[in-house]
Copies of this chain bind each other. A is one copy, B any other.
Amino acid sequence: MEQSPRSDTRGAKARVALFGVTGYTGLELIEILLRHPSVELTYLASRREELPVVSDIFPRLRGRCDARTAPIDLDAVAEAADVALLALPHLVSKQHVPELLERGLTVLDLSADYRLKDASVYERYYGEPHTDAGNLAQAVYGLPELYGDELRGARLVAVPGCYPTAAILAAAPLVCSDWPVVEEVTVDAKTGVSGGGRSPKLAFHFPEANESVKPYNVGIHRHQPEMEAVLSDVGDRTVAVDFVPHLVPMDRGILATVYVHLDEEVGEADIQARFEKFYAGQPFVRVRPLGDCPATKDVAYTNYCDIGLKALWSRDGRTKVTVMSAIDNLLKGASGQAVEDMNLVLGFPRTAGLV
């Protein structure tokens, strides 16, 4: 019989293994877990042969996390930890998830490997067949504002992508409303460069990315099907998303400007009220007063998602709304949300380690 992950965490700290410590999401996870009151970081797994010392990679952790990483030895991990946080690249995560689950661990995967329920879409966008259909089916999409109930006690969580988090939180109150939403949602998003990861590439080379705004992967970005799948699921209708991402010269932050048509004339105050009600009680979504636009700086280095909206017009039986959402791509868009998910899974206070 599998052990219950929650039984281990009563009265004691949850023991967490972290896979992937050399990227930005790994760094952020370490920073959060070091100050999380109910968690102990017991295993730091690296895929690198030389097994680096964490603070040699990230000098900002010196004196706070000077451990040498250990190899990916799943038995050792199972011995040391109850929960596994996977900050691994796409395609790599799914090599380890089945065995981690088998060994009784709760798994929170920050890669895309368990986000898309439709394996054929996964294969089309990630170039490999998905080989773990069983776990794919049980994975919970880790957006707490929409899937909070499913997350409690989940065994496998697919932590959402950064762009989908921002876009879905902006669009969901409309897509889930009684108003007739035109099925085409346009997402014009702007991201900081840390969203591209820590591997040096020309596009992210400072003199190339600095002082420039550039659209990229227009209409073909991997986060587009993720947005469509989740919005269609929660909206209970087919929602098509047109997604145009842009690279912006800043470290972190995503601003999603989302355009939605309603097939009805709706007042701005009603829309605002809809958003406030939809997110009432959610600790990390802040709906701004009408007319107030969020800046990414308002949420940088926090787990918040700030949302502002404006009805551009309402006429001839239709309404055009723009919703603007801002998150920190590494926190609410990745590592912060992973810990928020973990808190829900393990029954900790939702905000533990995050405020």
- A interface vs B, CB < 8 Å? 24, 34-35, 59-60, 62-64, 184, 186, 188, 190, 192-194, 198, 200-202, 204-216, 218-219, 240, 242, 244, 246, 248-253, 255, 257, 259, 286, 288, 292-302, 304, 306, 308, 310, 312-313, 320, 322, 324, 326, 355
Contact = CB atoms under 8 A, between A and B. Distances in A.
Among A193, A211, A250, A355, find the residue whose CB has the most chain B CB atoms closer than 10 A.
A211
Contact of A253 (B186, B204, B213): B213
8 tightest A-B CB contacts, nearest first = A212-B297, A214-B295, A200-B200, A193-B206, A188-B188, A213-B255, A194-B207, A59-B298
A72 to B, nearest CB: 23
A184 B212 CA distance: 28
Contacts of A213: 190, 248, 250, 253, 255, 295-296, 326
Q: SS class of chain A's interface: helix, strand, loop or mixed?
A: mixed
7 contacts: A24-B207, A63-B286, A64-B355, A190-B213, A193-B206, A207-B252, A259-B259
Contacts of A308: 215
Among A62, A206, A301, find the residue whose CB has the most chain B CB atoms closer than 10 A.
A206
Contacts of A324: 215, 218
Copies in the complex: 4
B286 A246 contact: no
Contacts of A294: 59, 214-215
Nearest to A291: B218
B253 A59 contact: no
A301 to B, nearest CB: 6
B216 A293 contact: yes
Contacts of A312: 218-219, 242
Contact of A204 (B63, B188, B190, B200): B200
Given A190-B248, A204-B206, A207-B251, 12 more contacts: A60-B299, A193-B210, A198-B202, A200-B204, A204-B205, A206-B206, A207-B252, A211-B253, A212-B297, A212-B300, A213-B295, A213-B296
Contacts of A249: 206, 210, 248-250
A249 B257 CA distance: 17
A167 to B, nearest CB: 14
Contact of A322 (B60, B62, B216, B242): B242
A253 B212 contact: yes
Given A213-B248, A310-B218, A190 B190 contact: yes
A339 to B, nearest CB: 16
B198 A310 contact: no
Contacts of A301: 301
